[in-house]
Amino acid sequence: GDSVTQMEGPVTLSEEAFLTINCTYTATGYPSLFWYVQYPGEGLQLLLKATKADDKGSNKGFEATYRKETTSFHLEKGSVQVSDSAVYFCALSNFGNEKLTFGTGTRLTIIP
């Protein structure tokens, strides 16, 4: 079945550091890939997505590129802020409009 493997956390960085959170997937066909962010006590918010190979999703300074050859969708940000502290989830959906398969989440803490 489909699965998502995500970089283990927690990750602690200083403000303005470069961020990478690794995500790889296993899926049949051509899944869509997502990054969701969860702030403390809240639900998940879509951060970015990509629906086909070589697509780059971007939002709020975050980027991720759909790499079919390496089955990866790593999340990057050039300069993190304290407000980026949250849990980040990589996810995929297959065959459109169906269930999301999530990674285990990576807790990110940014210190001033």
Partner 1 sequence: NAGVMQNPRHLVRRRGQEARLRCSPVKGHSHVYWYRQLPEEGLKFMVYLQKENIIDESGMPKERFSAEFPKEGPSILRIQQVVRGDSAAYFCASSPPAGEETQYFGPGTRLLVL
- Which is closer to partner 1, CB of 1 or CB of 112? 1
What single DSSP character describes residue 82?
G
Q: What string marks each residue from 45 to 64 as x (binds partner 1 by CB under 8 A) or -?
A: xx--x-x-------------
Would you say 66 and 73 are in contact if contact means Cβ atoms under 8 Å apart? Answer: yes
Q: What string marks each residue from 23 to 42 as x (binds partner 1 by CB under 8 A) or -?
A: ---------x-x-x-----x
- Burial of 63 from C-beta contacts in 10 A (0-12 / 13-18 / 19+): middle
**The total number of residues written for the chain in this structure:** 112
Q: Which residues bind partner 1 (CB under 8 A)?
A: 6, 32, 34, 36, 42-46, 49, 51, 89, 93, 96-105
